[in-house]
Structure 1
Amino acid sequence: MEGVPHTFRVTIWNSTGQRKSIDTDENSTVLSHLRPGTEYSISVCTVLQSTDLESVPVPITVYTGPSPPGKLNISSVYETSVCLSWDRPTDMEGVPHTFRVTWWNSRGQRESITTDENSTVLSHLRPGTEYSISVCTVLQSTGLESEPVHIIVCTGPSPPGKLNITSVYETSVCLSWDRPSDMEGVPHTFRVTWWNSRDQRESITTDEISTVLSNLRPGTEYSISVCTVLQSTGLKTEPVHITVCTGPSPPGKLNISSVYETSVCLSWDRPTDMEGVPHTFRVTWGNSRGQRESITTDENSTVLSHLRPGTEYSISVCTVLQSTGVESVPVYITTCTELSAPERLRVEKVRSSSVRLRWDTPTKMEGVSYTYSITYTCDGEGPKQQTTGSKSSSADLCDLKPGVEYSFSICTVLHNGSRSRACSAQTHTRKCGYGVYREADCKFV
């Protein structure tokens, strides 16, 4: 084609149908403003200047390179892991791609992962070690990688293991912890620091894994921290924390001032050495049926209500620190509620020598073993008694005198002899000749 005036027509297009052409008389050109990570078809043909006639085009296919990720960010650094994130390339929307994350240290230990997220956690790292990290964008269709983006980070040293409080007393605490398992061969000590809300702070250094903190204030919350310290540089780990409260003093003697059918009035003495320490009292009571309840009060007296009549209760009171909920040793007392009495004693079927008594059974006495004691008397005679079982709600009294006024009373009786208050009634028996009396009428119903 020497001596024949001609140019070259370069045409480029992608799968979305975007097509453009340029004419040049050079045998090279730069195709710009392309979409990253996209496959392009390119053709070049010769064009006669005189007629614009084109030759057969020569095609080629090419992929543009992917854009690199944005800035890398370290959000968290731990002794064996690093939380890493980065910005997605803004011009790669709709282009399938992943990210390759690679990290290595000065020992030549090198690892790599691929993810389609823009964040990851690098784990199983070596404590106190510097790591170089790179992230690049990878096209899913071709595996083509972008230029990597780099960052350097150093993992933290290992802290002590879990702190354990083995014993708590009023003025001392026994503390222990586990050595960091990945610090073998590295000379280190432990710094133990403790303080309270009054900013009283103390600290000791030890190469042991246990210590006793003494001369503490009773009923006081202490924050305790332990960190590992490198002997060579004095570099400290993140501290491990625990909170403990020295034991509160228990209440004084418990006192029962009043006992009723369904309630008990209880009081106790405040501990004398807890002044200035905010605290409450936890009162717990239960019976042999396993029914257990508890209340908390800042007073040194309370009324236990909704109890079962005729039931023995074990009651305990302990001091509770408001700041931590730590409880003292409880103080105990035992009491028995009063029995419920029968109600509405009525006299029916009055004859010359007998009457029938009827009553309402006492409430809330289900499951309590008891009997009824009936007492009746008239002028000139001593009182007489009759007993009937708890399933009865009536009784016939058959040994009365004609034409005499009688007083009747009934009460509930426990197996231990405890009695409820009495319920009473009065009536006159009929005079002789009024009414009919039969022996068979004398019975319990």
Structure 2
Amino acid sequence: SLVSLSLIIPSPVLPPPGDIQVLLLTLDSVSLSWSSPQGLTGPQTFRVTWGCDGETSSTRVKDVYHLKISSLRPGEKYQFNVATEGEDGRQSRWVSASISTVLPAPDQLTVDSVDTTSAAVSWSQPPGLDHTQHHYKISYCCPGIKPHITTTSSPSITLCDLKPATEYSVTVCTVLENGKQSQLVLTTFTTVLPAPDQLTVDSVDTTSADVCWNQPPGLDQTQHHYQISYHCPGTEVHITTTSSPSITLSDLQCGTQYSVTVCTVLENGKQSRLVSTTLTTKHLQWWKRPSTVAAVFVLLAVIMGLWDSYATSERDHLQNSLNTRTTERDQLQTSYNTPTKERDQLQTSYNTPTKERDRLQISYNTLTKERDQLQNSLNTWTTERDQLQNSLNTRTTERDQLQTSYNTPTKERDQLQNSYNTPTKERDQLQISYNTLTKERDQLQNSLNTWTTERDQLQNSLNTRTTERDQLQTSYNTLTKERDQLQTSYNTLTKERDQLQSSLNTRTTEIDKLKKSLNTTTMERDQLQKEIERLNWENKGKCVQRAHLFICFLIHSFCS
């Protein structure tokens, strides 16, 4: 009897695309990519869907393996699905991924007005949140104290009840209604150290004075003291300290105006602003002394009057010469001080670019090292990628050979199937041969599947390595641009430094010339001063002789 064998071949199932990869993620868009489905050749079409909170959108792409999706909401979690779609409407299983868009953080965090116990903090609203409900979370603390946390819906806040002269750290982040937070933005500030208040002067005497003030607010639990400085015109500044809000200044000169300044000083050396006042000591009242002292003062006054009457003309002449020399000396001193100040300013200007140049050089060296490390990593990944590519090519060649070996038994099986309707013995023999070839085919199919799996793993590893290499290349290019910018800034600062050095040398030469002129004028002034002293001694001797004659004349007249 003839036995017919009918084979039922089902419609092939479309293979799904590879796993979804994220190429770029922003606050309102995402760029996705996926690999080609296994075993498919020719034009391919993919169905892409995405949704959030029940809202779903979809699109269809053809012959591409990537897609950029825009107009998303910041800080939201979206479900993305990709499936292979056939010409007859059939679809593969979905490949899914859950991705959250970026929630932007506050920008330009600044601290505006800082007082002793408060500070105003402001920032810019993050972009893309005009139509999204959100608020801001602010946390601030000082070392050793538990952070204070508060919230606000406006892009500014005033922090109160702060400690004076204390460094605070402030962090701000964006918070959505679902509780999702952005990255933290950090800044620091230091509150102002309060100065002494109501500085007053009490009980001024000829050589002493009492100064008092009020303790600054907010320093009851803080160790501090006060620094007092006082001086009169033309003298050095006297500096002293005290822990009490009052002090007695002694060893003052009578009839002299003093300038007094007081400031608050902490244990770490930080000082508040200066509070100043002035005082004038009392004059010495010699007429209240005993009669003997008064007589001595009268006699000295008579002698000085006689000396003034005889030495006025010559002294005035020498005084005029001295004043002329002094004026010339002051002019030279002023001329000397002006280039000196300019030289100091140039030196300061020179030091500032030099420091900036050193910082730029350090940054440049650091970036160069990082670039070299990235270059080494890039070379390593490139070598591994090439090795994986070679392995992939080898596996592909072996797979093709197995596919060829698989096709040959399949053709033989088909030939045996055509001969199946012959007599039974031949059919049985052919069935046995068919079964044998089918087993060999299955073995070859298993081997082919194994090689295909290994090839896909190698392909995924290659894609991962390629993505990491591209990221490293991007970082390398960015660092190279920053290095070039730093090199340009370094060259500019070097030119400015050379110009400042030339100006400094010119000013130094002018200062040396002015020093020589000042020294010459000073020597002439000293000679005139010695001449005046010599004449003063001669006039003093003459005045004493005349005073003796005058006193003898008075005694003689009194006796007569």
Normalization by structure 2: what TM-score? Answer: 0.34
In proportion to residue count, which structure has more strand?
A: 1
Normalization by structure 1: what TM-score? Answer: 0.42
- The higher relative CO (CA closer than 8 Å, separation ≥ 6) is in 2
In proportion to residue count, which structure has more helix?
A: 2
